[in-house]
């Protein structure tokens, strides 16, 4: 039985193992590779996508769980908050190796969509599930505060 869902605004139907994680379905079957594999265990956040607007660890979400839902990946980001976050990421030169940054950005966009003026503690809470081994955390924090200003303006 094919699993049907909406990916970045387009209807998708995938006839694969319904236990296949959403991450691998999107990467291997659909061919969108912006979302990354980091741990396969919902520990690092590199695979973060939005399901119905909420950040989800796609490496540990079976395809069957998103039947009929709206999924957004880094490739499908749009709108004021996403633009502000990505512009701030570029301005602050957050990325080093860059591998985790799609996931970081997805988590940051979800945070700023809900909370236009996050405190440092709010940022810690929302971003704690996203590991960056380059430890770009100082700049992630700065970029989120900066993007929040743009969103509020």
* Binding residues among 94-113 for other proteins as defined by CB under 8 A: 94-102, 105
Q: Is 5 in the site for other proteins (CB under 8 A)?
A: no
Residue from 3, 56, 71, 127 in contact with other proteins (CB under 8 A): 127
Total number of residues shown for the chain? 153
Tokens describing residue 95:
């990325």
Q: Is 27 in the site for other proteins (CB under 8 A)?
A: yes
The sheet with strand 70-72 has its strands ordered as 10-14, 3-7, 70-72, 48-51, 54-57
Q: Is 90 in the site for other proteins (CB under 8 A)?
A: yes
Residue holding tokens 């924090």? 141
- Provide the Cα torsion 15, 30, 12, 75; round to 10°: 160
What is the rounded distance in angstroms from the CA atom of residue 26 to the CA atom of residue 54? 17
Residue from 8, 14, 139, 147 in contact with other proteins (CB under 8 A): 139
The one segment of 1-9, 50-58, 91-99, 110-118 that binds other proteins by CB under 8 A: 91-99
Question: Binding residues for other proteins, per CB under 8 A?
Answer: 16-17, 20-21, 24, 27-29, 31, 33-41, 43-44, 46, 73-75, 86, 89-90, 93-102, 105, 123-124, 127-128, 130-141
């Amino acid at each position: 039985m094919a699993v049907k869902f909406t990916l970045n605004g387009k209807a998708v139907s995938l006839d694969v193992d319904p236990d296949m994680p959403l991450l691998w379905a999107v990467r291997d079957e659909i061919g969108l590779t912006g979302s990354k594999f980091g741990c396969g265990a919902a520990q690092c956040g590199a695979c973060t996508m939005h399901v119905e607007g909420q950040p989800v660890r796609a490496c540990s979400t079976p395809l069957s769980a998103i039947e009929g839902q709206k999924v957004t990946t880094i490739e499908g980001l749009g709108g004021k908050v996403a633009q502000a976050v990505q512009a701030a990421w570029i301005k602050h030169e957050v990325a080093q190796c860059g591998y985790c940054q799609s996931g970081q950005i997805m988590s940051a966009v979800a945070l700023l969509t809900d909370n236009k003026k996050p405190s440092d503690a709010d940022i810690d809470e929302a971003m704690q599930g996203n590991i960056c081994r380059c430890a770009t955390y100082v700049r992630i924090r700065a970029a989120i505060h900066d993007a929040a200003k743009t969103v509020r303006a």
